[in-house]
Amino acid sequence: QVQLVESGGGLVQPGGSLRLSCAASGNIVSINGMGWYRQVPGKEREWVATITTNGRTNYADSVKGRFTISRDNAKNTVYLQMNTLEPEDTAVYYCNAVISSARGYQNYWGQGTQVIVSS
């Protein structure tokens, strides 16, 4: 059973920083792309950033220059460093990964971690 577990969310003031983590565990053969998405009530889930196996990154325009995605392949973990946070960044953040296990390649989601940016 493969699962993704996020941590690091919370309440932060505008201009502050948070670091999200997402660890994959279970019967993992390999992990391809990993990424972060976010969702606010009443809106569709929004892509934030992705990182390939060899470290190539892409970001949504809304977070470019403020957020940094990274990964530790030895720990099967992806991170999202969020700086200069704005109230508009308030959302539930979900990690995503394409993982190969005994079942073949599948797309997995974490349970989500809440980020609130407010004074």
pLDDT, the chain, mean: 96
Give the rounded percent of residues in the chain with a pLDDT score beyond 90: 97
Instruction: Enter the tokens of residue 8.
Output: 């690091």
Q: Rounded distance, CA 75 to CA 83, Å?
A: 23
Task: Report residue 1's pLDDT band, with 50, 70 and 90 as the boundaries.
Answer: confident
Encoded amino acid at 65, one letter: G
Q: What average pLDDT does the segment 17-29 reach?
A: 97
Q: What average pLDDT does the segment 90-95 reach?
A: 98
Q: Which residues of 16-90 form beta strands (DSSP E)? A: 18-25, 28-39, 46-51, 57-59, 67-72, 77-82
Longest CA span, the chain = 47
pLDDT of residue 86: 98
Q: 108 with 35: CB under 8 angstroms?
A: no
Task: Report residue 103's pLDDT band, with 50, 70 and 90 as the boundaries.
Answer: confident
